[in-house]
Amino acid sequence: MNYKIIIDKLSISYKRFGQGRSVLVLHGWGKGSDSWVAIGEILAKDNYQVIVPDLPGFGASQEPDKPWGFDDYIDWIEQFVKEMKLNRFYLVGHSFGGALALKFAALHAEMTEKLVLCDAAVIRKERLDWRQTYAKKMAHWKNNLLRLPFASKIYPVAKKIFYKFAGNHDYELASPVMKETFKNIIKIDTFEFASRIARPTLIIWGDKDQATPVEDAYAINRAVKNSKLEVIAGAGHKLHRTHSQQLSSLILDFIK
């Protein structure tokens, strides 16, 4: 199930389930491939080979020696696909991985059979303002708080609460290199590539998603010509963990 490969001098960990037509899954920002085990096992039972790499800097994969930008990950995916000798595969992307999947599919239609986007972080630009506003407030709040005599005790707790509220908990947990990578990634809006998708596309979204609002799903659905939208009631941003069976069924129905 767990394998290692060297790509561009980086030690990369990936999971592989089953045999058959290939499904490549690109995870979101966070823990990596571990959260896709249940779905990998379900798809494998229907005679698919499911490959879920830990993207560089995530899971058990080595992080880059310097901060990466969005296109560094796109180039890395192309190298990974070639090293794995994948051809005409089904591409599934969640959150950050969904944004990567969208752009990759737009640029490499010859490699992609069908595309599945799950709560994809495609639309970024219009949300930069409130993130920047929170960052400025955080800096001001931090400076004032650190002047207090009991600051060393309450600041760590208050910082976690702030990051969670602002949606930046991933940033708090990242290494210095990945913090800078996070800053680079969050600036990139890939919505312009939606109209260039030439492959059948399934868009799956949780109607309770607060990280990437369901309004984004409808916008992407309108922009991708040959696309279908499925909204899962009661699901949030991590529907691959909370609704793995339902998500797997939707993916299987689509790629079949």
Q: Which amino acid is at 101?
A: A
Helices 70-83 and 96-107, packing angle to 10 deg: 70
Q: Are residues 104 and 46 in the same domain?
A: yes
User: Whole-model pTM?
Assistant: 0.86
Task: Report the distance separating Cα 145 and Cα 107, nearest Å.
Answer: 47
Q: Are residues 105 and 160 in the same domain?
A: no
Beta carbons of 202 and 117 less than 8 angstroms apart: yes
Q: Are residues 74 and 116 in the same domain?
A: yes
Q: Are residues 138 and 224 in the same domain?
A: no
| 236: CB partners within 8 A, 6+ apart | 206, 208, 209, 210, 242
pLDDT for position 153: 57
Task: Kindly give the confidence (pLDDT) of every residue in the chain, 256 residues in length, as a single tens digit, with 9 standing for 90 and above.
Answer: 899 999 989 999 999 999 999 999 999 998 899 999 999 999 999 999 999 999 999 999 999 999 999 999 999 999 999 999 999 999 999 999 999 999 999 999 999 999 999 999 999 876 544 444 555 555 555 556 556 665 555 545 555 544 444 445 566 678 999 999 999 998 899 999 999 999 999 999 999 999 999 999 999 999 999 999 999 999 999 999 999 999 999 999 999 9
Q: Are residues 113 and 131 in the same domain?
A: no
Q: Are residues 133 and 221 in the same domain?
A: no
* 170: containing domain: 127-180
- Number of domains, the chain: 2
Instruction: Name the domain boundary from 146, 161, 180.
Output: 180
Instruction: Name the domain boundary from 147, 180, 213.
Output: 180
Q: Are residues 26 and 96 in the same domain?
A: yes
Q: Are residues 50 and 112 in the same domain?
A: yes
Q: Are residues 15 and 83 in the same domain?
A: yes
Instruction: Name the domain boundary from 144, 163, 180.
Output: 180
Q: Are residues 115 and 229 in the same domain?
A: yes
Q: Are residues 34 and 139 in the same domain?
A: no
Q: Are residues 163 and 217 in the same domain?
A: no
SS (H, E, C) the chain: CEEEEEECCEEEEEEEECCCEEEEEECCCCCCHHHHHHHHHHHHCCCEEEEEECCCCCCCCCCCCCCCCHHHHHHHHHHHHHHCCCCCEEEEEECHHHHHHHHHHHHCCCCEEEEEEECCCCCCHHHHHHHHHHHHHHHHHHHHHCCCCCHHHHHHHHHHHHHHHHCCHHHHHCCHHHHHHHHHHCCCCCHHHHHHCCCCEEEEEECCCCCCCHHHHHHHHHHCCCEEEEEECCCCCCHHHHCHHHHHHHHHHHHC
CATH number at residue 234: 3.40.50.1820
